[in-house]
Chain A
Amino acid sequence: MSGPADAFARAPLLLSVLHRPAGAAGLAVLALVGLAALSAGLLSPGDPLDMVALPFLWPGTDWAHPLGTDMLGRDLAAGLLHGARVSLLVGIVAAVIALGIGVGAGALAGFYRGRLDAVLMRATELFQTIPPFLFALAIVAVLQPSLTTITLAIGVTAWPSLARIVRAEVLALRDGEMVQAAVAIGASDARILLLHVLPNVLGPVLVSASILVATAILTESSLAFLGLGDPNVVSWGGMVGAGREVLRTDWYVAALPGLAIVAVVLGLNLLGDALNDALDPRRMRR
Chain B
Amino acid sequence: MIRTPAGRLFWARRLAQMVLVVLSIGTVNFLLLHLAPGDAAQVLAGESGSASPEYLAALRRQFGLDRPFPVQFGHYILRLVTFDLGFSHRQGLPVATLILDRLPATLLLMSASIGLAVLLGGALGFLAARRAGGLADALISGLALLFYATPVFWVGLMLTVVFAVWLDWFPVGGMRAIGATSGPGAILDIAHHLVLPPTTLGLFYMATYTRLMRASVLDVQDRDFVRTARAKGLADGRIAWRHVLRNATLPIVTTVGVQVGSILGGAVLVETVFSWPGLGRLAFEALFQRDLNLLLGILFLSSILVGVANLAVDLAYARLDPRIGLQG
Tell me the A residues contacting B by CB distance below 8 Å.
122, 125-126, 128-135, 137-139, 141-144, 161, 214, 218, 221-222, 225-228, 237, 240, 243-244, 247-248, 251, 254-255, 258, 261-262, 265-266, 269-270, 273, 286
Contacts and interface: CB of A to CB of B under 8 A. Distances in A.
Given A266-B149, A269-B145, A138 B266 contact: no
A279 B302 CA distance: 37
A74 to B, nearest CB: 19
A129 B153 contact: no
Contact of B287 (A129, A137, A243, A262): A137
Contact of B32 (A131, A142, A226, A261): A142
A240 B145 contact: no
Interface stretch (B2-10, B56-64, B65-73, B158-166): B158-166
B160 A134 contact: no
Contact of B284 (A138, A226, A240, A270): A226
A240 B152 CA distance: 12
B310 A129 contact: yes
8 contacts: A130-B303, A144-B37, A161-B258, A222-B153, A226-B272, A226-B284, A265-B149, A266-B145
Given A247-B157, A258-B151, A138 B299 contact: yes
Interface string B287-328: 110101001101100110011001000000000000000000
Given A131-B265, A138-B296, A142-B32, A244 B149 contact: no
A214 B149 CA distance: 8
Contacts of B32: 138-139, 142
B152 A222 contact: yes
Contacts of A135: 299
Contact of A247 (B150, B160, B265): B160
Contact of A142 (B21, B35, B265, B303): B35
Nearest to A273: B145
Interface residues of B, number: 52
Contacts of A144: 37
A130 B269 contact: no
A92 to B, nearest CB: 17
B51 to A, nearest CB: 19
B154 A227 contact: no
A251 B295 CA distance: 31
B252 interface: no
Determine chain B's interface SS by DSSP, over half rule: helix
A143 B303 CA distance: 21
A115 B88 CA distance: 41
Contacts of B21: 126, 129
B261 interface: yes
Interface in B102-141: 132
B154 A258 contact: yes
Given A126-B21, A129-B261, A139-B32, A134 B146 contact: no
Given A133-B265, A134-B283, A137-B268, 6 more contacts: A134-B302, A141-B290, A142-B32, A225-B269, A226-B272, A227-B287
A247 B132 CA distance: 40
Interface in B36-55: 36-37
Nearest to B27: A126
A28 B191 CA distance: 43
B262 interface: yes
B148 interface: yes
B265 A134 contact: yes
The 7 A-B pairs of least Cβ separation, nearest first, read: A133-B265, A258-B154, A131-B261, A266-B149, A265-B149, A131-B264, A142-B36
B20 interface: yes
Contacts of B150: 258, 261-262, 265
B218 interface: yes
Interface in B228-264: 258, 261-262, 264
A262 to B, nearest CB: 5
B44 to A, nearest CB: 13
B207 to A, nearest CB: 10
Contacts of A143: 35-36
A243 B158 CA distance: 11
